[in-house]
Chains A and B, each alone.
Chain A
Amino acid sequence: MIEPGPVQTDWTGRRWRLGHPGRPPIAPQMLLLPDQRVGGSDDDSRRSWAFRDGALTLSGADGMPSVRFDRLKVHFDEWRLGGTELATGAAIELNETLPAQVPIDRIGSVDAVPLHGGPRRDFLVIVHAGSRTLHHRWERDIDDSARNWDLLLSCSSGDPGPGRDEADLFCEQSHIGTTRLLYCLLHPESALWDYRYIMLCDEQIMLRWSDLNRLFVRMVEHRLLIGQPAMGPDGHVEHEITRARPDLLLRYTTFVDRAAPVFEPSVLRLAVPTFGTVYLGQGMDHLWCFLIGRPRGRMAVIDDVAVTLTDPIGGRYRAEIGDVEEELICRTYGLQPDARELGFIAR
């Protein structure tokens, strides 16, 4: 018999390896997410988890139980669960495992410094600052007081480039990559987690201030866990699914790419540890969608807000190196890249 116990993070704070005894894992890095969904697995028969009648039960998209674990053994602090696959009667195991990737180096945490006084706004936009950054050219089509977002510039080159003073927050850590600076900035105790949504905006994105206001409003309205603006016709498109559809308000998808993702903080907390493990970041977007179980109706490309990617991200490094990194991520987590539309809301 297995009982939930008083501390939910005993279950949600671990990584799990799901598989049949003596066989390669079905899901090498599975997560029991705090909202009762299952992450790190694409199988529709394992979409949610709960404790029922003395067992940890996994259920499918149809709400029907599919796997039942009723035996728990703690082996040198490592949790091992034994159970049964209900459709076949086969034995199945859920064993605690270590995160598949560990941070490349230990840099410590970095905190952002406020550049101006004034109350903090609801939402946060983080842009990596450098000579190529475009944030200082964003069209100011609304008054500064009407913004619902703060701008944080992160700088790792020693030269934040133009427009540093336009930021609300600034952080600096020289000689580490963009993604790993985010890893240091979004440390577990960071004050940034109090924002309602956090956008990681590529420095080569061009937009208007009102676009960001509307983007965050749409995220809230539609309760999205991850979303992104659509990519407008005048710029580059990294993934075809992100190309703007002017006739729609948004499209629900299984994928949000790395050009301008907007995260609900609990989701970003899941993704951040992987930031410390990559060099270029290619494939990271597939990973964070996979880790949260690609929840239907909670991920979307927001066509109501179209921005312009002026320079393809993938064009900034050698493609074969990026491909190797993406392949490694997919292999490590047992994930299949999956970028599909799952529905829409019309204007």
Chain B
Amino acid sequence: MMQPTEGDPPDRTLLLTRPWRLAGASPGADADATYFLPDGRIGGAVPDGAASWDVADGRLVLRDRAGRRFASFVNAPADPLAVEADRRAARPPTLRLDGHRGADDAALSLTALESRQAVAPGSAIRPIGARSGRRNLVVVHAGLGTAWETWSRDLAPADRNWDLCLVWHDHPDGRPDRPDAQYHAIAFRTERWEAMHRLFPSGGKLSGYDRVALADERIGWSWSGINLAFNLAHAYDLSLAHPALDRDPRSSLRFASAIGDLCPIFSRHALALCAPCLGDDAADERGPRWAARLGVPAHRIAILDDASIAAPDGIGAAMPAGARVLGRIDRSDPPAPATPQGEGVPA
């Protein structure tokens, strides 16, 4: 990787693909693992006062909610000692941006952090199979005799809007004789979230889907329900969604501060940001951590009441403890249809 040149505009690709640490000379300016999201928002640890980012006039500019400049950065001069240290350690060059905060001119710096996304080749789980052209993917950490095998096939296979990836955890060779699945992978005796983490390295075979559901093998679902869940997530442009367990009869969906980990549905971008930490957290911390990492507003995270699932008691929830409902889209009957009229009346 080339070391960026001092004073050059910050490279957008680098900004998007790495977590960054913000450090400042004054209190309150530090933020760990900040993410610059493609739509101009800031995810992960958001520096106090910053709300969005862009590259303007050759600078990385952080802006406040009103669009005013909060801080701006350019590529820092290369430190020969650091370059040499990186070379000796055979690691990518350290990337740093230097800048100033607009309000008080305090010096700030942004340093690119290593991402766990760079999974060592030997540890990645490699799915076997090929994409069908569908836009969505369901991944099941699968063993024999669990509920996923009984999902109702209430759709013709051609009408499915999702591919299926089975990640076998109970057999060293897997069971590749399942025609419903487009991919098979082996994660023998590997815990579910560790397997998911190793399944999604950056740029891997499964990275091109619009939305990905990571389903617990114990949930009850149906093929049409999966279609509907993906359609809802797409229609409302949700970054994170979870099918409801206890369905709210008033709602089509409920916006929430976080979702649970039984069957999270990630947008492509959300998965790219969360994949590095899929294996990191305790069960009750995962959902809140994903929400915080994405930095998305509440209306991008939702519980899907119109597309519910079943699950045995005690294995999890659609919404983790402490999460809040922040709004909803109502179920509603449309108004009575208009009586068919005669031909259009010209003005």
Task: Tell me the residues in window 247-263 of chain B with beta carbons closer than 8 Å to chain A beta carbons.
Answer: 251-252, 255
Query: Does any Cβ of B come within 8 Å of A336's Cβ?
Result: yes
Nearest chain B CB to A279 CB, angstrom units = 9
Query: Does any Cβ of B come within 8 Å of A100's Cβ?
Result: yes
Contact A24 B298 (CB under 8 A): no
Contact B334 A28 (CB under 8 A): no
- Cross-interface CB contact of A338 among B228, B335, B341, cutoff 8 Å: B335
Query: Does any Cβ of A come within 8 Å of B90's Cβ?
Result: no
Nearest chain B CB to A316 CB, angstrom units = 21
What sequence of 0s and 1s flags, for each residue 77-97 of chain A, a beta carbon within 8 Å of any chain B beta carbon?
Answer: 000000000000000000001
Residues on the B chain within 8 Å of A24, using CB? 340-343
Residues on the A chain within 8 Å of B299, using CB? 221-222, 345
Most buried by B among A19, A213, A296, A328: A296
Query: Does any Cβ of B come within 8 Å of A263's Cβ?
Result: no
Ordered by A's residue number, 21 sampled pairs between the chains whose C-beta atoms are within 8 Å are: A24-B343, A25-B343, A26-B337, A53-B158, A62-B306, A63-B228, A101-B346, A101-B347, A146-B67, A217-B65, A252-B330, A277-B347, A297-B236, A328-B345, A332-B347, A335-B338, A336-B336, A340-B332, A344-B328, A345-B255, A346-B326
Query: Does any Cβ of B come within 8 Å of A191's Cβ?
Result: no
Residues on the A chain within 8 Å of B66, using CB? 142, 146, 148, 210, 213
Given contacts A42-B335, A100-B346, A345-B255, contact A146 B341 (CB under 8 A): no
Interface range for B: 35 or more
Residues on the B chain within 8 Å of A42, using CB? 334-335, 337-338
- Cross-interface CB contact of A346 among B235, B236, B327, B334, cutoff 8 Å: B327
What sequence of 0s and 1s flags, for each residue 9-23 of chain B, a beta carbon within 8 Å of any chain A beta carbon?
Answer: 000000000000000
Query: Does any Cβ of A come within 8 Å of B115's Cβ?
Result: no
Given contacts A342-B329, A343-B328, contact A223 B344 (CB under 8 A): no
Query: Does any Cβ of A come within 8 Å of B237's Cβ?
Result: yes
Considering the complex, give the chain B residue whose CB is closest to the CB of A65. Answer: B159
- Cross-interface CB contact of A333 among B65, B158, B335, B344, cutoff 8 Å: B344
Query: Does any Cβ of A come within 8 Å of B231's Cβ?
Result: yes
Contact A100 B344 (CB under 8 A): yes
Given contacts A42-B334, A223-B237, contact A343 B327 (CB under 8 A): yes
How far apart are the CA atoms of A338 and B255 in the complex, in Å?
24
Nearest chain B CB to A51 CB, angstrom units = 14
Nearest chain B CB to A148 CB, angstrom units = 5
Residues on the B chain within 8 Å of A252, using CB? 329-330
| Contacts A53-B158, A221-B297, A332-B345 known; 18 new A-B pairs at CB < 8 A | A29-B344, A43-B337, A102-B346, A104-B347, A146-B66, A146-B68, A210-B66, A213-B66, A221-B299, A252-B330, A296-B252, A297-B236, A331-B345, A335-B338, A340-B332, A340-B335, A342-B329, A346-B326
What sequence of 0s and 1s flags, for each residue 317-343 of chain A, a beta carbon within 8 Å of any chain B beta carbon?
Answer: 000000000001011111110101111
- Cross-interface CB contact of B340 among A19, A101, A277, cutoff 8 Å: A19
How far apart are the CA atoms of A44 and B331 in the complex, in Å?
12
How far apart are the CA atoms of A25 and B337 in the complex, in Å?
12
Contact B298 A345 (CB under 8 A): yes
Considering the complex, give the chain A residue whose CB is closest to the CB of B297. Answer: A221
Query: Does any Cβ of A come within 8 Å of B227's Cβ?
Result: yes
Nearest chain A CB to B8 CB, angstrom units = 23
Contact B338 A296 (CB under 8 A): no
Interface of B is mostly: loop
Considering the complex, give the chain A residue whose CB is closest to the CB of B232. Answer: A63
How far apart are the CA atoms of A66 and B334 in the complex, in Å?
17
Residues on the A chain within 8 Å of B334, using CB? 42-44, 338
Considering the complex, give the chain A residue whose CB is closest to the CB of B341. Answer: A334
Residues on the B chain within 8 Å of A221, using CB? 297, 299
Query: Does any Cβ of B come within 8 Å of A175's Cβ?
Result: no
Contact B338 A336 (CB under 8 A): yes
Task: Tell me the residues in window 35-67 of chain A with beta carbons closer than 8 Å to chain B beta carbons.
Answer: 42-44, 53, 62-64
- Sorted nearest first, the 3 A-B pairs with minimum C-beta distance are A345-B327, A100-B344, A343-B329
Contact B347 A102 (CB under 8 A): yes
Residues on the B chain within 8 Å of A106, using CB? none
How far apart are the CA atoms of A217 and B231 in the complex, in Å?
26
How far apart are the CA atoms of A343 and B252 in the complex, in Å?
9
Given contacts A343-B328, A346-B327, contact A28 B343 (CB under 8 A): yes
Contact B327 A334 (CB under 8 A): no
How far apart are the CA atoms of A213 and B51 in the complex, in Å?
14
Nearest chain B CB to A138 CB, angstrom units = 17
Contact A343 B330 (CB under 8 A): yes
Residues on the B chain within 8 Å of A332, using CB? 344-347
Nearest chain A CB to B30 CB, angstrom units = 27
Residues on the B chain within 8 Å of A341, using CB? 330
How far apart are the CA atoms of A296 and B335 in the complex, in Å?
14
Nearest chain A CB to B297 CB, angstrom units = 6
Task: Tell me the residues in window 134-168 of chain A with beta carbons closer than 8 Å to chain B beta carbons.
Answer: 142, 146, 148
Contact A336 B228 (CB under 8 A): no
